[in-house]
Amino acid sequence: MARYRKKPVTVEAALFDGKLVGEPDGAGAVIKGTCPEWFPAVVREVSNGDKLISELRENEVAVFDGELWIGTLEGAHRASPGDMIIRGVKGELYPCKPDIFAATYDPTPVYP
């Protein structure tokens, strides 16, 4: 059986602390005013979760029952407090659990 290794990819990511999305402050909270320009504004607050899951389009962000939902190619995904929001190589957004993020990604220098 053939084996393959994932190509190195650099992504952008921001922390969701339950209220804000942006740069972490080291204590599990987001520094106010650091939301990245690539993160879209919340399009709406939804009261019907079933409708949210069926209607949320790719890269749309909505709030349902106090939780953040992100539209992906695979459908709507919930971002829980402490999750990282990743912007992939094609601009796609998706949440990632902190343990998976730490096991998969290393910090990289930011170049101008």
Average pLDDT on 66-81 reads: 89
| pLDDT of the residue at 50 | 64
For the chain, which residues make up each domain, given as ranges? 12-104
Helices (H), the chain: 49-55, 98-104
Non-local CB neighbours of 48 within 8 Å, separated by 6+ positions = none
Task: State the pTM of this model.
Answer: 0.84
Q: Tokens 């993160």 label which residue?
A: 39
In 31-92, DSSP assigns E strands to 42-46, 61-64, 67-72, 75-79, 84-87
Q: Determine how β-strand 61-64 pairs with β-strand 42-46.
A: parallel
Query: How does pLDDT run across 76-90, given as a tens digit for each residue?
Result: 899 999 999 999 989
Query: How does pLDDT run across 2-59, given as a tens digit for each residue?
Result: 898 878 888 999 999 999 999 999 898 999 999 999 999 887 777 766 666 677 889 9
